[in-house]
Structure 1
């Protein structure tokens, strides 16, 4: 049976940096000054003016010294990146009400230049929608010349996502955006943005079925999948193949779960119980087989699963993610 590569560090949670000595990093306040006519921001300045916006000022960020431009942009020239989480109707309406009552917009959105004109905001979707709801003509934005900042911001948003489903959907949206941006680069070079390979495969599953029971399969994918040195476009094909295999397995597992319920067995962890019973990794010593081989074996075992031998007391020790949670 072929053996899988050892998983890399992308599956590990990012550790918070150690606390640095006070005032030991960055640049001094006077060094943050940057003339609006500086050559470093000339291209961004031209783009802003060509789109009908106005440059209000420029400065260097105090930590990395990166040039940033404060601008007022025509609101119809700004749109959210197409690969971030969906707009919350309740949140943006509430935000619009607050801005309307105060009569002042204080929190500029972050913006980058769009690939086909205009601007993208990777973290200002609700503020933008709130201002659009209020009929605003312009919106204040902090325009970042480095386009890759969009992926970094979205990666941070992924870590804040509430559950596996949200995180997976954000990662697959980022992945599709990266494909459009530079699909020839190695997948592993985007590890910071993608976090772990399992989220890409699960994202494809959630796109196909919103209530997919991803939590039951996530531990297996995390153990056996890793980001590769293959170009993004080629790596995406592999993720799509694995997602189809996971779906084929889920069909068989779903049939077993239905049979157990028909027999009157009750547990919020029925699916997790079945997946654990057919998972061969529990008995394998040494290096595990490939993910494809494991999924194939699990599907075969699910097809032969004898539900008549399962008793209610067998489910007492079942745990993990409830069947109704992704």
Structure 2
């Protein structure tokens, strides 16, 4: 193909091909190649803006616990104690989850300590952040937290007077809520596996009764589900959570014996899952292709579904469900029943 010509008729040099992007693995920095050594995080003289921020924190009734450089980019920050009454959420972040606040306050109360500092910035004026805004006068500072509002609310609920915070001088951090909240929440599988591994380790170190580890294990069903996930990584534990929450309880047995009981419960739950899978296959053979088929079958065979406050033994309930799943008749199911139970089934293309 002929080279393009410029307006004056001279040949135009073709552009060089762009260099291929480095693969993620190739672009990864070598271990120990980035940031500051631990011994240097507190070294050096803080810049004027950090010194001024420290003075403002003291004037607002807070305390400066440390001035340091964060380890990756080397930016200066302050670890401070702030009066809780002066800490508030940024006005544009998501609403509080009441359930999450309750859970956090319960955990802090049981531990009797607050271990996870919030992130905060000092607002320069009563009207909020922004370039050119007048700094708040000493004793009038407010602190916005773009990451820590649920912890703040939990502390308030407990009647706490103060909170430990990482106070940053960069006002823009208050607008980076989404970037700060990138940690993925645990799903059922992750939580169950983590709890099961903790139980196995604790059974060797501290073989107290299982029920004495309620705080560490959170829910008894996670112990049973974790053993199922270890044997069957693609196990659909969420489909059985609504049942397990009513029948699975913390055990009085020491952890080593409790784990053996859990293994038997996991085996029973996996047998139930096999029977449910066969029922789902039967429905698919009839043309049902809804993603809710397993949940539909579990709901149909759940003997507790019409009880307001069910209180039933684990083995008896799951054995009853297993028998119902083995008797499940796909021919008795109508499409509208699946639609009402969990949304419309997908159109079957035969």
TM-score when normalising by structure 2 = 0.47
Give the structure 1 partner of residue 249 of structure 2. 226
The CA distance in 2 between the partners of 1:291 and 1:188, in whole Å, is 16
The CA distance in 2 between the partners of 1:313 and 1:227, in whole Å, is 39
Query: Rg larger in 1 or in 2?
Result: 2
C-alpha change, 1:174 and 1:274, in structure 2 (3 Å) is same
C-alpha change, 1:95 and 1:163, in structure 2 (3 Å) is farther
Q: Is the 8 A contact 2:246 2:310 kept in 1?
A: no
The CA distance in 2 between the partners of 1:174 and 1:93, in whole Å, is 35
1:179 to 194, 199, 203: 203
Q: Is the 8 A contact 2:296 2:341 kept in 1?
A: yes
Q: Looking at both structures, which has the greater relative contact order when contacts are Cα pairs under 8 Å and sequence separation is at least 6?
A: 1
Give the structure 1 partner of residue 221 of structure 2. 198
Q: Is the 8 A contact 1:266 1:312 kept in 2?
A: no
Pairwise CA RMSD: 3.3
1:168 to 192, 196, 220: 192
Q: How big is each residue's C-alpha offset from its partner over 1:227-274, in whole Å with a ceiling of 9 and x where there is no partner?
A: 122211121121111111101111110000011111110211100000
- Name the SS of the counterpart of 1:165 in structure 2: helix
- Unmatched tracts of structure 1, length 5 or more: 1-89, 109-151, 154-158, 321-326
Q: How big is each residue's C-alpha offset from its partner over 1:71-106, in whole Å with a ceiling of 9 and x where there is no partner?
A: xxxxxxxxxxxxxxxxxxx99998755852x35344
Query: What aligned pairs does 1:19-30 form with structure 2 within 5 A after superposition?
Result: none
Give the structure 2 partner of residue 316 of structure 1. 339
**Alignment of 1:263 onto 2:263:** no
**Alignment of 1:104 onto 2:36:** yes
Query: What aligned pairs does 1:1-326 form with structure 2 within 5 A after superposition?
Result: 96-97=29-30, 99-100=32-33, 102-106=34-38, 161-183=185-207, 185-284=208-307, 288-319=311-342
- Name the SS of the counterpart of 1:294 in structure 2: helix
Q: Is the 8 A contact 2:247 2:317 kept in 1?
A: no
Q: How big is each residue's C-alpha offset from its partner over 1:154-204, in whole Å with a ceiling of 9 and x where there is no partner?
A: xxxxx9753100110101011111011122x11111111111110000000
Q: Is the 8 A contact 2:246 2:312 kept in 1?
A: no
C-alpha change, 1:317 and 1:97, in structure 2 (3 Å) is farther
- Unmatched tracts of structure 2, length 5 or more: 1-22, 41-114, 117-182, 344-350
Size of the aligned set, in residue pairs, is 183
